[in-house]
């Protein structure tokens, strides 16, 4: 049976909901400590997982050595004091006990075990090195640490507690669905899955994953939409005798190439920019243009994919067929200009997500 829900992630800025600067400073110290302990725990867990998986290949061990990775209490030839999953959790929790909530370590352990299983063959054959975790990746937590969500009318923000730390959301001029999702979470219409908190450049970001029901539309199985992607028209779609061109080359590329040209001019002038405080001051303008291009492209592709799905829903198409995808992918790889400026794969991912959300079957040829 087809699953009737999908998961989607959002990024929401948080503010510490405390009155004094001293209290906020203590919270910042706590959050940075949690982030650091997560980074160190992740490296410990991955190292232990690798040793456990490779121990049977340590040919220099004597033949009498037991190496079955199971609990010794359950199997006579087991070499672990706990279950395989619990061993790596105990490594981290024993090392950092009292410095970080154990629930965070539990979710981290689960995530890393799944990642290790996914990439195990590459690790075993030497095609991939172990992941090296660095500061700045944030930390995971589950619904157990998320408490007392409510909407504060005075502050015009949603407030909640992460374990014992009070936060409020900062949505700004929210033109997305973040406010609506939080309202639905408050009313119980959507479900909160795992979340991540990340500290970036003096700001706190919350990245929750919501499980929401799929949209319900009156779609007809006999109606099929055929769409193609190209540089001339980002999306062209046809349903029977009805067709639509979404975007065009001039509209999409003109602004993007203008931003790239501004970036190149700024790069040439960076040498003469005022220094101080390391390279950040000199590269500040370059980073601004880079972010500007990313935001522009992301906005355009969201608009194009949204219009495509709306067109399918309007004409009750239950199936969307993307034509010549393999050929387009080869063109994108061969032509550097196309690969750099088309954003082919990014557009594909947005179409896939929106089609799944609307209950439309997506087929690529």
pLDDT digits (tens, 9 = 90+) for 108-127: 888 888 988 888 888 888 88
Task: Pick the more confident residue, 335 or 221.
Answer: 221
User: What sign results for the dihedral spanned by CA atoms 324, 326, 330, 335?
Assistant: positive
**Does the pLDDT of residue 87 top 70, yes or no?**
yes
What domains can you pick out in the chain, each with its CATH number?
A: 5-23+139-213 (no CATH), 29-125 (no CATH), 220-255+293-364 (3.30.420)
Give residue 22's pLDDT: 92
Give the pLDDT score at 288. 83
Strands 361-364 and 317-322, by their bridges, are parallel
Sign of CA dihedral 238, 243, 247, 249: positive
Mean pLDDT value of segment 274-283: 68
pLDDT surpassing 80 at residue 344: no
What's the confidence (pLDDT) of residue 332?
Answer: 54
pLDDT band at 67, cuts 50/70/90?
A: low
**Average pLDDT for 279-290:** 76
**Measured between alpha carbons, how far is 145 from 206 in angstroms, rounded to an integer?**
13
Average pLDDT over residues 147-167: 89
Average the pLDDT over 25-52 and give the result: 89
**Residue 166 confidence (pLDDT):** 92
Mean pLDDT of 342-357: 82
Whole-number pLDDT of residue 349: 86
> What pLDDT shows up at residue 205?
93
Kindly state the DSSP code that residue 56 receives in the 8-state scheme: G
**Higher pLDDT pick, 275 / 42:** 42
Average pLDDT over residues 295-314: 88
Whole-angstrom CA distances from 239 to 150, 233, 311, 313, 318 are 45, 17, 9, 11, 11
Query: Beta strands 68-71 and 78-80: pairing type?
Result: parallel
Q: Model confidence at 278, in pLDDT bands (50, 70, 90)? A: low
Rg of the chain, C-alpha, whole Å: 25
Confidence band, pLDDT 50/70/90 cuts, at residue 216: confident
User: Quick one: pLDDT at residue 159?
Assistant: 92
Lowest mean pLDDT, pick from 45-49, 231-235, 240-244: 231-235
Give the span between the Cα atoms of 207 and 204, in whole angstroms.
10
Average pLDDT over all residues of the chain? 81
Alpha helices per DSSP H over 126-163: none
Percent of the chain with pLDDT over 90: 10
Nearest to 39 by CA among 109, 128, 138, 111: 138
The residues, ordered by sequence, that sit 6+ positions from 220 with a Cβ below 8 Å of its Cβ are: 316, 317, 318
Beta strands 203-213; 12-16: pairing state: antiparallel
Which residues sit opposite 78 in a β-bridge? 68
Judged on CB neighbours under 10 Å (0-12, 13-18, 19+), 277 is exposed
- Closest by alpha carbon to 293, among 317, 330, 260? 260
pLDDT band at residue 167 under the 50/70/90 scheme: very high
Tokens of 221: 């199985």
| Alpha helices (H) in 119-248, listed in sequence order | 120-125, 178-187
Residue 130 near residue 120 (C-beta atoms within 8 A):
no
Report the Cα 284 to chain-centroid distance in Å: 25
Contact present, 189 and 177 (Cβ < 8 Å): no
In this predicted structure, the answer to whether residue 329 has a pLDDT above a threshold of 80 is: no
Task: Give the model confidence (pLDDT) of 173-201 as tens digits.
Answer: 776 788 888 998 888 888 988 889 999 88
- Cα 249 from Cα 354, distance rounded (Å): 23
Please report where in the chains the tokens 């030839």 appear, as a residue: 77
What per-residue confidence (pLDDT) applies to 26?
92
Check residue 175 and give its pLDDT: 65
| Distance linking the first and last C-alpha atoms of the chain | 25
What residues contact 283, with CB distance under 8 A and at least 6 apart? 270
Q: Does pTM surpass 0.85?
A: no
User: How far is the CA of 299 from the CAs of 159, 287, 294, in angstroms?
Assistant: 28, 18, 9
Note the helical H segments in the chain: 21-54, 84-95, 102-118, 120-125, 178-187, 249-269, 280-314, 325-334, 336-341, 344-358
Cα→Cα distances 360→226, 326, 354, Å: 13, 21, 9
């Amino acid at each position: 049976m087809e699953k009737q829900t999908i998961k989607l992630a959002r990024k929401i800025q948080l503010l510490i909901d405390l009155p004094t600067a001293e209290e906020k400073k203590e919270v910042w110290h706590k959050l940075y400590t949690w982030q650091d302990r997560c980074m160190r725990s992740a490296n410990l867990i991955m190292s232990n997982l690798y040793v456990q998986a490779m121990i049977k290949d340590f040919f220099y061990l004597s033949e009498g050595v037991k190496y079955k990775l199971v609990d010794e209490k359950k199997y006579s030839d087991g070499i672990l004091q706990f279950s395989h999953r619990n061993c790596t959790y105990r490594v981290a929790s024993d090392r950092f006990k009292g410095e970080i909530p154990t629930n965070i370590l539990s979710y981290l352990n689960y995530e890393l075990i799944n990642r290790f299983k996914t990439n195990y063959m590459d690790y075993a054959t030497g095609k991939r090195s172990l992941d090296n975790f660095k500061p700045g990746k944030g930390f995971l937590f589950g619904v157990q640490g998320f408490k007392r969500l409510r909407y504060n009318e005075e502050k015009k923000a949603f407030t909640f507690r992460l374990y014992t730390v009070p936060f409020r959301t900062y949505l700004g001029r929210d033109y997305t669905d973040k406010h609506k999702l939080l309202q639905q979470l408050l009313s119980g219409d959507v479900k909160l899955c795992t979340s991540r908190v990340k500290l970036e450049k003096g700001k706190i970001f919350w990245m929750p994953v919501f499980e929401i029901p799929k949209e319900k539309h009156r779609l007809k199985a006999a109606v099929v939409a055929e769409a193609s992607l190209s540089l001339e028209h980002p999306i062209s779609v046809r349903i029977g005798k009805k067709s639509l061109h979404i975007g065009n080359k001039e509209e999409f590329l003109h602004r993007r190439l203008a931003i790239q040209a501004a970036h190149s001019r700024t790069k040439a002038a960076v040498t003469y920019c005022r220094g101080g405080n390391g390279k950040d001051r000199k590269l500040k303008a370059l980073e601004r243009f880079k972010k500007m291009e990313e935001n522009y492209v992301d906005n355009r592709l969201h608009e194009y994919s949204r219009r495509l799905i709306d067109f399918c829903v309007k004409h009750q198409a239950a199936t969307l067929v993307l034509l010549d995808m393999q050929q387009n992918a080869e063109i994108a790889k061969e032509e550097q200009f196309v690969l750099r400026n088309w954003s082919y794969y990014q557009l594909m991912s947005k179409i896939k997500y929106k089609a799944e959300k609307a209950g439309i079957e997506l087929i690529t040829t």
